[in-house]
Structure 1
Amino acid sequence: MPSNEQIPHDKSLDNSLALMQEGYLFIKNRTEKYQSDLFEARLLGEKVICMSGEEAAGIFYDNSLFQRKGAAPKRVQKSLFGENAIQTMDGEAHIHRKLLFMSLMTPPHQKRLAHLAMEHWEASTPKWEGVKQVVLFDEAKKILTRIACSWAGVPLDEQEIAERAEDFYNMVDAFGAVGPRHWKGRRARTKTEDWIKSMISDVREGKLKAEEGSALYEMAFHTELDGRQLGTQMAAIELINVLRPIVAIATFITFGALAVHEHPEVKVKLQSSDREYPEMFAQEVRRFYPFGPFLGARAKKDFEWKEAEFKEGMLVLLDMYGTNHDPRLWDRPHEFRPERFKEWKGSLFDFIPQGGGDPARGHRCPGEGITVEVMKASIDFLVNKIAFDVPVQNLSYSLVRMPTLPESGFVMENIRWK
């Protein structure tokens, strides 16, 4: 049996500090240096195999080889996902719960959210007309919190929107953080879980009416394979796992605005009547700009692949950013070119901004359709419904900070109806 001496080993005693210092490029820097799709490293004292590319993604999403249980560190569960949530499940139990998520993310739900997004963007415009500056990212977070809660059947008072929006985003922002940012995310999760938990209890006790088919109703009354209802805490965690990713679309919308600003030719095409172009644009924003850096899983059993020995229980990281910028998969990957999606064949493993594989059977995010539709509506609003000036500001973004964003949040001035 081959030993892992045959695959590149990163020489460092522990790569944890390098990962924090290199962020999105940590895996990519090494696959390029070693001219290999995979290498072994040590993170927090543990042997880890890091890998990148379409073939690696295909292996990573093979449910007979990998499982998610034990892959997400507790610190990520306590801020981003919630403890023991769907992202940590495997097998039939995972598929059963995934079907619940899929039922809430069908094309009619996607269209409804896109329609709500446009309504709320338009309703915000009169308020912006008299204001000197508006930060797009901050506005997007609030609007997406409003529409996510309205669509899900979650009651939300106008005066709490800014605070709830901040909490939803702080959970996401804690992903790659240590220190204050991490603790902020944990506090936000505790607060949000308490809020949603009391709502789930009220729905179950009949004190709060939830419409059948709404996310609030479906989470409150979902039964597991053994016929038992989800515990109140777990129902709250999973409802947050529906709401939080909708609020996180604010990042893609902000990067979308940056793309339009930096590529005037793209703006012209978005103003034309080409019906395919907005979809290609949204996909290229998701491919080109950094969102998720990597994903983790653990080997289910001992096996070999590409002369590497995967031991049962071993942690494996899949490079999302590097795969989306792999020159073998994407012609001139560091150019922003929406037209590339005209020829794209829709592989499950070459384009993985929110994970890869089949969303119905595996761990790919079931909310990609919602992301794309809400992005399309939001960019349509920014390009075709209003006009604004973009003052001098710092629009750069760091590939070290995970997750990242244009530094200024994209400031707009002199906003007016077209």
Structure 2
Amino acid sequence: MSLGLSYLTLTRLRERAGSDAVRLPIPGFYAIGGPDAAEVFYNAARFDRQGVLPGPVKKTLFGENGIHGLDGRPHQARKGLFLAVNTPESVARLLELTGAAWHAALRHRRQLVLFDEAARVLTAAACGWAGAPIPAAGVDELARNLVAMVDGFATLGPRHVLARLARRRTELWAGHVIDDVRRGNLRPPSGSATAIIAADPTLDRATAAVELLNVVRPTVAVSWMIAYAAHALHTMPQWRRRLADGDPGDAGDFADEVRRMYPFTPFLAARVRTGFRWHDLDFPADATVLLDVYGIDHDPRVFPNPDVFDPDRYRQRPPGLFDLIPQGAGDRETGHRCPGEPVTRAIIEQTSTILARSTYQMPPQDLTINLRRIPARPASGVRITPVRPWPTSAPADRPAPSPSPPTSAHPAR
């Protein structure tokens, strides 16, 4: 059972009102969108994040007392931990691990569901990168729990119950990892997330466990983007050829267009600190405002022809800090933009290139993307059958496009 929302809910409400700022049917709630909305929303003088996240989201996706609910100096101090984890050198190390994990996982596989395989690969790589030992239950069990935490945060019923149980299990594991480091029983690599977080004296055990998961969990959540990237390569086979040629600019633009085009975060929330007026609407102090993330990433005023998958749009006009916002907006180092955005982008680039340089088939399957399911994903998870062993470097020949007929590149509405 969903909460009655879709990725298009806020956009449609704004369209009906004829304004980029609307009062929602829930008392004290507002929504904003359009070309200037993200810059307004990320103005720290106007908005707070503390106390905004609802309990069900903290009990599943983010955890209690994590960075997502902090403001001001506490937020900057905590942000420093995540920036220290996401250095260029650290991201390069993660890519080494993900590349090796893909090669090991797919070397002898004849058929797989790409979403599920990505979750296992990224779980193994993320734990190695973070310096957090895999629990005794194994990679598959940990991957299922990390996926469940993301998959059930925005719904009621079985998926949400599974997400809460998964949160408890993974926090228990992460807490044991923190204990082992602080007792001297585990020595994670210097500069790893486990080492940095466990060494912070301001974090109690529970909060340290939450923040360790806030490194590992989002890395595994890139599985959604990998399934979307495969969907895009299937529907736009010319991009398989371009990525196979190895132009780094093409790979980066492709990753950005996957993050823009396909649904993941429908909106973000913040609380008004100081009342203000915008687009002829008064926003009182303590009101909750939802930023229409999906709507902005599909706004024709920001991205012309937004329903067309076109990575070349970024060659024509690189996005500004408040334009392309699938993981937040503004300055990554000082604001509330996701500090792990470079990780997401890099993994999409790497995996998309591996797929483009591989020869595989996609059997008939349901590739529809239901925008009423949050988070959405291709219904089949993207089933593929490799025809040749997966390469570790670019093959001499270009891969043939998938033999199954293309479907619409735009998610089902």
Output the TM-score relative to the length of structure 2.
0.92
SS in 1 for 2:229: helix
Out of 24, 35, 38, the residue aligned to residue 54 of structure 1 is 35
Cα deviation per residue 1:45-70 (whole Å; 9 max; x = unaligned)? x3211111231111100000000012
Pair 1:395 & 2:395 matched: no
Q: Which string of whole-angstrom CA distances, capped at 9 and with x for unpartnered residues, describes residues 137-178 of structure 1?
A: 000000000000001111115861011001111111122111
Contact 1:110 1:374 (8 Å CA) reproduced: no
Q: CA deviation at 1:344?
A: 2.8
Residue 7 of structure 2: aligned partner: 24
Q: Which amino acid aligns with 2:363?
A: P
Query: Is the contact between residue 20 and residue 400 of structure 1 (CA under 8 Å) also seen in structure 2?
Result: no
1:310-325 equivalence runs, <5 A:
310-325=283-298
Output the CA distance in 2 between the equivalents of 1:239 and 1:54: 34
Please show how residues 326-405 of structure 1 align to structure 2 within 5 Å. Answer: 326-384=299-357, 386-405=358-377
AA aligned opposite 1:288: M
Alignment-mate amino acid for residue 179 of structure 1: G
Partners of 1:207 and 1:414 in 2: CA distance: 42
Q: Specify the SS of the correspondent of 1:392.
A: coil
CA contact (8 A) 2:3 2:156 kept: no
Q: Is contact 2:94-2:125 (8 Å) kept?
A: yes
1:278-336 per-residue CA deviation (whole Å, 9 max, x = no partner) reads: 00000000000001000000001222222211111110000010000000011100000
* Higher relative helix content: 1
- 2:64 counterpart SS class: coil
Residue 110, structure 1, aligned to residue 91, structure 2: yes
How far residue 414 of structure 1 moved from its aligned partner, in angstroms, is: 4.0
Aligned to 2:47: 66
Q: Do the aligned partners of residues 178 and 314 (structure 1) sit closer, same or farther apart at CA in structure 2, a change above 3 Å counting?
A: same
2:117 is the alignment partner of 1:143: no
Distance 1:206 1:269, change over 3 A: same
CA-CA distance at 1:277 after TM superposition: 0.3
Q: In the alignment, is the contact (CA less than 8 A) between 1:115 and 1:377 conserved in 2?
A: no
Residue 208 (structure 1) aligned to one of 172, 186, 204: 186
Q: How far apart, CA to CA, are the structure 2 residues paired with 1:195 and 1:415?
A: 38
5+ unaligned residues in a row in structure 2: which ranges?
A: 390-394, 396-413
Moved >3 Å (runs of 4+): 19-22
Aligned match of 2:149: 171
| TM-score, scaled to structure 1 | 0.91
- Cα distance between partner residues in 2 of 1:302 and 1:414: 57
Aligned to 1:261: 234
SS of residue in 1 equivalent to 2:378: coil
Aligned pair count reads: 390
Matched, 1:411 2:411: no
Identity among equivalent positions (%) equals 39
Q: Are the aligned partners of 2:47 and 2:273 in contact in 1 as well (CA < 8 Å)?
A: yes
Q: In 1, distance between residues paired with 2:136 and 2:198? A: 24
